[in-house]
Structure 1
Amino acid sequence: MEGPIHMDHADEMYTDEDAGPDPRLFVASVARALRILESFDGGRRTLTIAEISQATGLGRSATQRFVYTLHQLGYLRRDGSSKHYRVSAKAIDLALSLIGSHTYAERVAPVLDMLAQKTGETVAWVERDDIDIVILRSIPSKHLSSVNLPVGQRFAALSASSGQVLLAHAPIEEILRVYKNSMVHARERFGLSDNEGILRYFEDVRRRGLSITEKMEDVDSISLSAPVFAGRDEPVGAINISTLKSRFSKLQAERKLSVDLIAAAREASQMVSR
């Protein structure tokens, strides 16, 4: 039988990331509660108990207890008599306060503001979370017609310009793992399927220090991203400029926006390295 956990040895339990969570420290109920909140993604604003149970893989009884607890704590709201739940303003405030204190996003804020003023386009600070990228800071465009990038929004890293400049500096096996685990629509948008072509593409992105992608779904847009480093070979995040094809062609966007973008990324790298 294992003895008690001594705090002077606690740090040793975190050294082997491949071993999985230590059962002596891992609190499963916290993980389940977070799975409940994570089930309310961008496409599912309100959910029933049954829908949450299906999304999380938890049993209905366990789901009901966790939802009740989160509701009592104020992190979920119940919409009248509809039996639908949604994330509350309290939960959103908590998320925004955590994002607001994010070290890198906070430190590069002046660079983002200056870039947004200079280009007039939507500018964002982006970081990778496994196969996704997440918007952690966003400055909207001055134009009435523009790309909207709300904080917290996720995109597939494989097909997004920010994800590509971050993946370009990852090990080969990591790039191929992300490709394999990405959703079908992300792989289709990316366009390449053979390992040699995939790796050649990311080598080119790494060499250029820039990625440009086009989106032609809800709005025809162009996205440009450059990596930001903190004194290491692996980038800590990316700066993104998003514009509309009604203002720039892809070639025009590269010519007119990439110089300022790369300069901003270099300045941000100096700031986060201090």
Structure 2
Amino acid sequence: MSAALDSSDATTSPLYVRSVAKAFAVLKAFDGGHRSMSLSEIAAAVDMTKSAAQRFTYTLGALGLLYQDPASRRWQLTPRTLDIGTSYLAADSLIEQATPYLVELNHRCGESVNLSRPDGLDMVFVARFTSHARAFVHMPVGTRIPMFCTASGRAYLSSQPPSQAANFIQASTLHAFTAHTLTNADEILTHVAESGPRGFATASEEFYLGDLNIAAPILAADGSSLGAVNVSCPTSRWTLERMVAEIAPLLIQTVRRISGGPSARQREQISR
């Protein structure tokens, strides 16, 4: 798995199977805002004809990935669509290596602790241990968060060569999710550059209002980043300054213990 930006267009290869891509596009069209859809809605969402949508939904239904309500005739995902994601979670040795340390960090700080992996311009939560108090943001495993405005993303970018980090930021859509989101590329890269020497990155209410984050990269033997661990705290209980003082040392200790395991080096060799 790699988060590197790739300028080549794999879709032009004769090995590229467009029907497979379209089938995944149909599945991905279902989300929180489109929990069920008619054939016409699916066709519009995926930019295909209604007859094509009918063939794809029938096939995906036969595979048990989609279900059609007999009364409304609307389609929706089934729990079987979780199989691929569950297989990934079971197969990723970084999750297995990190989990005991993430649980310990969660117990010591009492707040939500997340492990994320890079994918494109985002970080994806692959493990999550929620706050002992009430958590006000629901971010399940599989949630994608943009690199440019999150502590996890900045921590990951801080381990990359400056030119590569700049490429990621330039390729990102610098959208303001809140009034606090940094959208100036130079300012973001300054935050990234400052994160490297101190070992952690921060983000204050940039993706969600009331949410403070601190994160550190998990490093492979060669110094490259395999992912990031972040701690999320609400502004109702914490300030960023207090997080830096109290949680940053625990966080840095945690990622060093994860990075230092022999399986971390084995994982990096396998990924190459």
TM-score bucket of the superposed structures, by smaller chain: 0.7 to 0.9
Partner Cα distance (1:65, 1:136) in 2 = 33
The answer on whether the counterparts of 1:123 and 1:242 sit within 8 Å (CA) in structure 2 is: yes
Match of 1:254 among 244, 262, 270: 244
Give the unaligned 5+ runs of structure 2: 1-5, 267-272
The answer on whether the counterparts of 1:156 and 1:186 sit within 8 Å (CA) in structure 2 is: no
For the residue of structure 1 that corresponds to 2:13, the secondary structure is coil
Residue in 2 that maps onto 1:49? 39
Matches within 5 A, 1:76-95: 76-95=66-85
Q: What CA RMSD, in Å, does the superposition of the two structures yield over aligned residues?
A: 2.6
Q: Would the alpha carbon gap of residues 221 and 73 (structure 1) be closer, same or farther in structure 2, given more than 3 Å must change?
A: same
Match of 1:114 among 97, 104, 107: 104
- State the one-letter code of the partner of 2:37: L
Match of 2:173 among 176, 182, 207: 182
Equivalenced residues, count: 258
The answer on whether the counterparts of 2:180 and 2:206 sit within 8 Å (CA) in structure 1 is: no
Match of 1:229 among 206, 219, 222: 219
Deviation at residue 146 of structure 1 after TM alignment: 4.9
The answer on whether the counterparts of 1:147 and 1:244 sit within 8 Å (CA) in structure 2 is: no
TM-score normalised per structure 1: 0.83
Match of 2:184 among 167, 181, 193: 193
The answer on whether the counterparts of 1:122 and 1:139 sit within 8 Å (CA) in structure 2 is: yes
Q: Would the alpha carbon gap of residues 176 and 52 (structure 1) be closer, same or farther in structure 2, given more than 3 Å must change?
A: farther
Deviation at residue 147 of structure 1 after TM alignment: 4.3
The answer on whether the counterparts of 1:124 and 1:135 sit within 8 Å (CA) in structure 2 is: yes
Match of 1:101 among 91, 110, 116: 91
Q: Would the alpha carbon gap of residues 164 and 66 (structure 1) be closer, same or farther in structure 2, given more than 3 Å must change?
A: same
TM-score normalised per structure 2: 0.84
Q: State whether structure 2 residue 138 is matched by structure 1 residue 152.
A: no
Partner Cα distance (2:206, 2:147) in 1 = 17
Deviation at residue 128 of structure 1 after TM alignment: 1.5
- State the one-letter code of the partner of 1:184: H
For the residue of structure 1 that corresponds to 2:197, the secondary structure is helix
Deviation at residue 231 of structure 1 after TM alignment: 1.0
- State the one-letter code of the partner of 1:163: G
The answer on whether the counterparts of 1:147 and 1:243 sit within 8 Å (CA) in structure 2 is: no
| CA deviations over 1:120-151 (Å, ceiling 9, x no partner) | 11111101111221110111222134543311
Identity, in percent, stands at 26
- State the one-letter code of the partner of 2:184: S
| CA deviations over 1:53-91 (Å, ceiling 9, x no partner) | 333233332222112211111111223432332221111
Residue in 1 that maps onto 2:49? 59
Deviation at residue 172 of structure 1 after TM alignment: 4.1
Give the unaligned 5+ runs of structure 1: 1-15
Match of 2:265 among 240, 265, 273: 273
The answer on whether the counterparts of 2:103 and 2:129 sit within 8 Å (CA) in structure 1 is: yes
Deviation at residue 152 of structure 1 after TM alignment: 0.7
The answer on whether the counterparts of 2:202 and 2:213 sit within 8 Å (CA) in structure 1 is: yes
Partner Cα distance (2:95, 2:21) in 1 = 26
For the residue of structure 2 that corresponds to 1:212, the secondary structure is strand
Partner Cα distance (2:192, 2:133) in 1 = 32
Match of 2:192 among 168, 191, 202: 202
